[in-house]
């Protein structure tokens, strides 16, 4: 099975035309960010925030548009960090946390589908 990374948008997994623009047969993994934020501990005056990122992944069969598997993946940080630290270096800390959350989700998908990492 070939795995190809495609930067495209498929809003409706039942849209066979959009799916077939990506590939003629097989499966397409559609990933969409559902929630991301820097959240505070409930104290409205806090200057520190923790990270949260959630995305949904759907594996769609191109032949008929059927969603054969779907799940939500994500990470919620427990370490509160100052807002200024999140903003430093063009938001480098935020970007690295998003990348780790996506890697974690990808590992979960691979494990669930039975592929060897």
Confidence band of 65 (pLDDT split at 50, 70, 90): confident
Q: How many CA atoms lie within 13 A of 46 on its CB side?
A: 14
| pLDDT for res 6 | 67
Q: Residue 24: what pLDDT?
A: 82
Work out the mean pLDDT of the chain and round it to a whole number: 81
Write down the pLDDT at residue 88.
Answer: 92
Identify any residues that bridge with 74 across adjacent strands, giving them in sequence order.
54
Q: 50 - beta bridge partners?
A: 39
Region 8-31: what's the mean pLDDT?
80
Question: What is residue 1's predicted lDDT score, i.e. its pLDDT?
Answer: 53
Contact assessment for residue 65 and residue 27, using Cβ atoms and an 8 Å cutoff: no
pTM for the full predicted model: 0.68
Per-residue DSSP letter, 25: S
Are 4 and 28 a contacting pair, CB within 8 Å? no
Domain ranges of the chain: 16-113
């Amino acid at each position: 099975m070939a795995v190809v990374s495609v930067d495209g948008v498929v809003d409706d997994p039942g849209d066979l035309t959009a799916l077939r623009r990506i590939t003629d047969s097989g499966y397409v993994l559609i990933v969409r960010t559902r929630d991301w934020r820097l959240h505070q501990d409930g104290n409205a005056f806090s200057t520190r925030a923790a990270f949260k990122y959630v995305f949904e992944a759907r594996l769609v069969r191109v032949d008929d548009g059927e969603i054969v598997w779907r799940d939500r993946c994500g990470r919620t940080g427990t370490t509160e960090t100052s807002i200024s630290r999140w903003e430093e270096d063009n938001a480098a800390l935020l970007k690295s946390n998003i990348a780790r959350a996506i890697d974690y989700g990808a590992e979960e998908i691979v494990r669930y589908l039975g592929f060897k990492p």
